[in-house]
Amino acid sequence: MCLIMLLAGLLSFGPKESTTVNKIFTIINILVLVFVIIGGCIKGSIYNWNITAEMLLNITAEARNLSSAVNITSDYGAGGFMPYGFSGTLTGAATCFYAFVGFDCIATTGEEVKNPQKSIPIGIIMSLLICFLAYFGVSAALTLMVPYYLLDTHSPLPGAFEYVKWGAAKYFVSAGSLCALSTSLLGSMFPLPRLLFAMARDGLLFNVLAKLSKRQTPVVAMTIAGIISAILACIFDLRTLVDMISIGTLLAYSLVAICVIILRHQPDFSNKVGIEMNEEKHSRQTTGFSFRSLVIPLQFPTQQSSNIVTCCVGLIVILVCILSGVITYQLESIKAAEIWSIGCLVLIVLISTLAVFIIWRQPQNQKKASFMVPCLPLLPILSILINIYLMTQLNVAIWIRLSVWMAIGLLIYFCYGIRHSVEGKRHQDCSVPSPLGNEKPAEEENKDEMV
């Protein structure tokens, strides 16, 4: 709790000061990671990746008979390289998804970067690569040094070096762990006040959160975010916080993927001529909804085509939730090739394929943006599928906490944000024609676009 408040105070000074501290901690982290990986290669044994099921049964029997055997559970899996199978790996991936929260930091600092079109893609790709190599290397070294069933879940790295008789190294690794914790907190807390500031500037949150300090940092949003984070750290244990961060991040990425599809097919109100031509063409073809509009695209998106895409995306999300639940809780039925489970999977795949085909046939907004997701709609739908499936791997208690947190957010939105949304008011102004003589000058329109 004290560490969070200290880092919140550091972040309130501005990105330059916090970035300098973060660089120092990161250098220490890299040195510790390299040391752990090299130490794992020296003291590790490939035997720990080839533990058989018979050996696990003997260990389980000894653990039940010996009272001195502590912190050892009776379920060790099947042994080998992936003792808990592919499903166990996905469950671990869902829990460890908090490791990728730092990408929010890259995306939310676009306004503070000199050349975001170049820096942001490079930053995301390099962060992905570095995170993968770091977690892959440390996990491999850790499980090579210590059998996986003997790992200390509270402090695995120092415990591993003590297990291999490198007692002095555990202090160096512990110091590196504290630096890693600090950089993780900085990476999590840095984008949060900027998200709150951006939402307050758009009218979705209270105006006080949009205030800036003399250093042009969202100091009010940082203070409130730091207090809330410190209270949560004081109330909940580490595992609960990690699961809450993971499920929140997965949900946020799923919503982003959904919005990418919907926004790409929204009508461009700046191109009123094309919209009017499309609407006129629709009125000549049909007086209402027709199945022809599902597969025969027009040149520009209309409100009808946008509604079709929104309905298809909603249907796909529902089907993905059902598919994830079936795979998670009825996997044995699928392996046994029971008729109801196979029929359910086939029906879900067919309906989803049809919905994807309809989305693909709808016209997209022709307005070019600085960043555009490729392979639409396949790539966002794949992201939705993976994220929702990983969310189903988390326990029910985390879902209950997420529901309470979402209820608070929705309450704020429907009581305040929906009536003060700047984008909502602008959308209404663009969709309703202005009275004659009240059109905005070109300079004022350009200013609105920049905002």
| Average confidence (pLDDT) over 264-279 | 65
Question: Is residue 2 a contact partner of residue 184, using CB atoms and an 8 Å limit?
Answer: no
| Residue 282: predicted pLDDT | 53
CB-hemisphere CA count at 13 Å for 220? 14
Predicted local distance difference test score (pLDDT) of residue 271: 58
Q: Which residue has the higher pLDDT, 429 or 228?
A: 228
Amino acid at residue number 396: V
pLDDT at 104: 67
Instruction: Find the mean pLDDT for residues 262-275.
Output: 72
Residue labelled with tokens 């326990």: 395
Predicted confidence at residue 272, as pLDDT, reads 57
Task: For residue range 188-230, list pLDDT tens digits in order.
Answer: 788 888 888 989 999 999 988 888 888 778 888 888 988 988 9
> Is the pLDDT assigned to residue 359 strictly greater than 90?
yes
Higher-scoring residue by pLDDT: 114, 143: 143
Tell me which of 59-68, 226-235, 311-320 is least confident.
Answer: 59-68
Long-range contacts of 164-168 (CB under 8 A, 24+ apart): 164/39, 164/43, 166/39, 166/43
pLDDT band per the 50, 70, 90 thresholds, residue 67: very low
51 near 83, Cβ under 8 Å?
Answer: yes
Q: How far is it, in rounded angstroms, from Cα 160 to Cα 66?
A: 22
Report pLDDT digits (tens) over 329-348: 888 888 888 888 899 999 99
C-alpha gyration radius of the chain: 26
Asked if pLDDT for residue 361 goes beyond 80, the answer is yes
Does 45 score more than 50 pLDDT? yes
Residue 178 has pLDDT above 90, yes or no: no
What is the distance between the alpha carbons of residues 109 and 191, in angstroms, rounded to a whole number? Answer: 7
The better pLDDT of the pair 326, 12 is held by 326
Q: How confident is the model at residue 446 (pLDDT cuts 50, 70, 90)?
A: very low
DSSP letter for 363, please: P
For 81-130, what is each residue's pLDDT tens digit?
Answer: 888 888 888 888 887 877 777 676 777 777 777 888 888 888 888 888 88
- Rounded to whole angstroms, the Cα distance separating 142 from 89 reads 16
Instruction: Please state, for a pLDDT cut of 70, what percent of the chain lies above it.
Output: 85
Phi-psi region of 90 (alpha: psi -120 to 50; beta: other; left: phi over 0): alpha
pTM, two decimal places: 0.73
Sign of dihedral through CA atoms 4, 105, 380, 342? negative
Report, as an integer, the average pLDDT of 174-196: 83
The percentage of residues in the chain with a pLDDT greater than 90, rounded to a whole number, is 21
User: For residue 229, which amino acid is it?
Assistant: S
Hey, what's the torsion of the CAs at 127, 129, 133, 134, to 10 degrees?
0
Write the burial class of residue 303 (CB in 10 Å: 0-12 exposed, 13-18 middle, 19+ buried). middle
> Across residues 283-312, what is the average pLDDT?
73
CA angle, 170 then 174 then 179, to 5°: 150
As a whole number, the mean pLDDT across the chain is 81
Q: How confident is the model at residue 372 (pLDDT cuts 50, 70, 90)?
A: confident
Q: Average of pLDDT values for 267-278?
A: 60
